[in-house]
Structure 1
Amino acid sequence: MEDGQSYRVLATLSDQELRLLDRETHEQIVTASDGHDAPIADLHPGYCIDADLDWSTTEPTVRTLSVLRETLYTFVDHIEPVFEAAQQAWQNARAAGDSMNSRVTRNTDNEVNGVLYVFAEDDEGEVFELFRNGSRPLDPLVDKVNEQEGDAPREVFVLRPANEEFVIVTIALKKGGQFAETLRETYDCPRPSEPLA
């Protein structure tokens, strides 16, 4: 076992049970539902943590942890309306015969405030679910932004329009910034309480 392994919190399955992504191997880990030595109830999907896991039982418990970055992941299905930048990116992808596209987003002062990706949804609607359950990690997209913009907490929104033709992944550069707040208000996804932030 390695001390101080870096993990991404994928989901909080309960106050005492987490689904984690090993950031090196992209392996998913579900923790035990109790018996942790470290408080985990206030962790949120998207948080990047440094944790020491105890593997002496079938499902690991968390011995120690520290929060490295309070990035937030938010998933919203069946959104309406689709904001213009995402709609345009999808139309451009379809016109080019591509299954994905990306572009930066800008505020009214023409300053870059985020990066968005659009991905074609499959017939089973699995692309959205693969992002949500971590089988298709969002980390490479977030890491790419961090490489260009510096390592900082972000807000990542995974949105599926009501027509379910495509999935939007939007990374707001500034956590708590106007772009992130606008998305939260538009798609009714209030900011969670973050006592660890």
Structure 2
Amino acid sequence: MTATPTTGGVYRVLESTREVDERDGGEWLLLDVETGDPTYVPRPDLDAAAGNRVRVTLVWPEGDPRVEESEVLTDTRFSFVRTREPLFQDAHACWRDAQEAGEAMASRVTHGTDGEANGVVYTFADQPGSRDLYEEFRDGGKPLDPLLARLAESVDPPFEVFVVDHTDEPFVLVLLAFERDGLLAGTVRETYFDGHSLLP
């Protein structure tokens, strides 16, 4: 009797952007944190949220992966939104930094009213006609893990990550909030997500 193939690794959980039959419960996209390779698994197989870093053992009966074992390693969460709501001051300042430096990307540390650092904002120039960076962040084509790894060198996770595409601005905004349920994350959710996170 041939054994069922088994693989495993550490993955970032993303919402699948593929069209699937939701009557089957939908699916998660697991993005290998080392290689960036995607694997799609049935959503009911994995108790997680978008953005979680998980260790997963996969079995491949008849070539379709199923989750055999899983463990959430970091409860970081991701949210994505396209919006017309005005962006905050640090986002515009970060974009000006990129323009003044002649770069397509810039970053800036954000601070709370007490002066303490509470997040990092990145702006990435749109590339109309060639790439939709917002969708690439959503589907893992442009992984967010390098930004998270850089932040984790100085701040302990879990974080909260917001990817915001303003329909009238020439850049995509990525905000990494140091505290997953902190004041900054809550303010961003209230402003751009109608008072609630898109995540479970």
TM-score, normalization by structure 2: 0.86
Task: State the secondary structure of the residue aligned to 1:30.
Answer: strand
Sequence identity percentage = 38
Pick the aligned partner of 1:134 from 117, 127, 140.
Answer: 140
Which runs of 5 or more structure 1 residues have no equivalent in the other structure?
none
In structure 1, distance between residues paired with 2:64 and 2:118: 40
Distance apart, 1:155 and its partner CA: 0.3
Runs of 4 or more above 6 Å deviation: none
TM-score, normalization by structure 1: 0.87
Q: Residue in 1 aligned with 2:150? A: 144
- Asked whether the 8 Å contact 1:78–1:164 carries over to 2, the reply is no
One-letter code of the match for 1:64?
Answer: E
- Asked whether the 8 Å contact 2:119–2:177 carries over to 1, the reply is yes
Task: State the secondary structure of the residue aligned to 2:50.
Answer: coil
CA RMSD of aligned residues (A): 2.0
Q: Residue in 2 aligned with 1:29? A: 39
Tell me, yes or no, if structure 1 residue 106 matches structure 2 residue 76: no
Tell me, yes or no, if structure 1 residue 116 matches structure 2 residue 121: yes
Distance apart, 1:97 and its partner CA: 1.5
Distance apart, 1:57 and its partner CA: 2.6
- Asked whether the 8 Å contact 2:51–2:77 carries over to 1, the reply is yes
Matched residue count: 188
In structure 1, distance between residues paired with 2:56 and 2:102: 43
Q: Residue in 2 aligned with 1:10? A: 14
- Asked whether the 8 Å contact 1:184–1:191 carries over to 2, the reply is yes
Distance apart, 1:18 and its partner CA: 1.2
Task: State the secondary structure of the residue aligned to 1:183.
Answer: helix
- Asked whether the 8 Å contact 1:12–1:44 carries over to 2, the reply is no
- Asked whether the 8 Å contact 2:16–2:139 carries over to 1, the reply is no
In structure 1, distance between residues paired with 2:97 and 2:58: 45
In structure 1, distance between residues paired with 2:154 and 2:192: 28
Distance apart, 1:161 and its partner CA: 1.3
- Asked whether the 8 Å contact 2:118–2:184 carries over to 1, the reply is yes
